[in-house]
């Protein structure tokens, strides 16, 4: 689509939701176009945004749309992660260009859109062009789902022992995340658990040495840690190390995997409730499938695994019940958290 626009002397725009990925997508586009034809724009920084191929966040395109509308020199628009259209806080950035740029042709991409008849009818009405939906219900790499009632660290040990790593541990909060809760604070902890070979240990220590402070071998790709360096570089580094087989466990928020081509074999949800900006609720089916879909990569695996952890108080109570069954004292059951928590069960993932 971008190549066709260049050949016809038109201007194309690619948008993605994360600023750090704008640079990366521009770098991917550069080999396909002549030097000087691809630019980027994000926040206050920009790199020749008037060039024929522009890479930017959806918010940047929305600002252009609000400022110039139908007079904007934008002819082809590729909007990645279009399911953000329904996001309470950021959705308008995906909606505004559709409503104010009738001169543009849009390619809207998402793996979790669901019913698309509304968009087909609305787009055709707005720009007078026929709209076609390209959809596939069959996943190239099938997924298997499981529910773990063990603590997080033993669960990770089991997955690594079964050859289901790399494991992407998803925690929806940048602090108090998966690595800390699993007890992984130093590179040696993975070595002591016997999950890495000698070659992997040497490679991990050598590559990770420059990032020793704040970046253990389990790759805690948290926002606070990433802010110390270019977050795009952090993402690329995690991707490269994982592809080389040097990282077995990657801990991060749900946005870590966006735009990264990592051979993730297993996605592990540390919890199934999330704060949406107003309240804490059970993860929506769309968000669950979007994140779980990062497990099992085409060309790497013949299947992927998705594991959901039971709530921590449930895991603790099961341990106490086992002790009681072995003749111990009657335990005092743990209670669920009173704030920022909604309980879930295995029925959410295993039917």
Over residues 58-113, the pLDDT tens digits come to 999 999 999 999 999 999 999 988 988 888 888 999 999 999 999 999 999 988 88
**Which regions in the chain score pLDDT beneath 70?**
20-50, 174-236, 255-261, 348-351
Q: What is the pLDDT of residue 72?
A: 93
Q: What is the pLDDT of residue 215?
A: 41
Q: What is the pLDDT of residue 251?
A: 81
Sketch out the chain's domains with CATH numbers: 2-127 (3.40.50.300), 143-313+341-350 (3.40.50.300)
Three-class SS of the chain: CHHHHHHCCCCEEEEECCHHHHHHHHHHHHHHCCCCCEEEEECCEEECCCCCEEEEEHHHHHHHHHHHHHHCCCCEEEECCHHHHHCCCCHHHHHHHHHHCCCCEEEECCCCCCCCHHHHHHHHHHHCCCCCCCCCCCCCCCEEEEEECCCHHHHHHHHHHCCCCCEEEECCCCCCCHHHHHCCCCHHHHHHCCCCCHHHHHHHHHHHHHHCCCCCCCCEECHHHHCCCCHHHHHHHHHHHHHCCCCCEEEECCCCCCCCCCCCCEEEECCCEEECCCCEEECCHHHHHHHHCCCCCCCCCCCEEEEEECCHHHHHHHHHHHHHHCCCCCCCCCCCCCCCCCCCCCHHHHC
Q: What is the pLDDT of residue 36?
A: 53
pTM score > 0.85 for this model?
Answer: no
Q: What is the pLDDT of residue 235?
A: 65
């Amino acid at each position: 689509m971008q190549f066709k626009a260049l050949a016809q002397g038109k201007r194309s725009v690619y948008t993605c939701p994360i600023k750090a990925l704008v640079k990366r997508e521009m770098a991917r586009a550069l080999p396909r176009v002549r030097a000087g034809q691809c630019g980027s724009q994000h926040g206050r920084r920009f790199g020749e945004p008037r060039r024929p191929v522009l890479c930017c966040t959806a918010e940047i395109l929305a600002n252009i749309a609000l400022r110039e509308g139908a007079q904007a020199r934008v002819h082809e628009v590729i909007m990645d992660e279009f399911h953000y259209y329904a996001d309470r806080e950021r959705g308008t950035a995906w909606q505004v260009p559709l409503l104010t740029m009738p001169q543009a042709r849009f390619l809207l991409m998402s793996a979790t859109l669901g019913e698309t008849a509304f968009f087909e009818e609305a787009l055709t009405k707005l720009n007078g062009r026929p709209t076609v939906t390209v959809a596939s219900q069959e996943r190239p790499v099938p997924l298997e789902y499981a529910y773990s009632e063990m603590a997080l660290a033993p669960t990770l040990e089991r997955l690594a022992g079964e050859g289901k790593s790399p494991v992407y541990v998803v925690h929806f909060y940048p602090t108090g995340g998966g690595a800390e809760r699993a007890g992984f604070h130093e590179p040696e902890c993975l070595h002591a658990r016997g999950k890495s070979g000698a070659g992997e240990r040497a490679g991990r220590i050598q590559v990770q040495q420059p990032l020793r402070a704040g970046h253990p071998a389990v790759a805690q790709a948290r926002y606070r840690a990433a802010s110390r360096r270019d977050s795009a570089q952090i993402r690329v580094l995690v991707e490269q190390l994982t592809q080389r087989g040097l990282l077995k466990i990657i801990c991060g928020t749900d946005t870590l995997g966006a735009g990264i081509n990592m051979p993730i074999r297993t996605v592990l949800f540390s919890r199934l409730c999330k704060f949406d900006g107003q309240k804490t609720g059970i993860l929506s089916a769309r968000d669950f499938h979007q994140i779980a879909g990062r497990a099992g990569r085409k060309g790497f695996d013949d299947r992927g695994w998705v594991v959901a952890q039971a709530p921590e108080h449930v895991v603790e109570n099961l341990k106490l019940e086992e002790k009681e069954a072995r003749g111990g004292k009657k335990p005092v059951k743990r209670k669920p958290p009173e704030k920022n928590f909604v309980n879930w069960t295995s029925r959410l993932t295993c039917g």
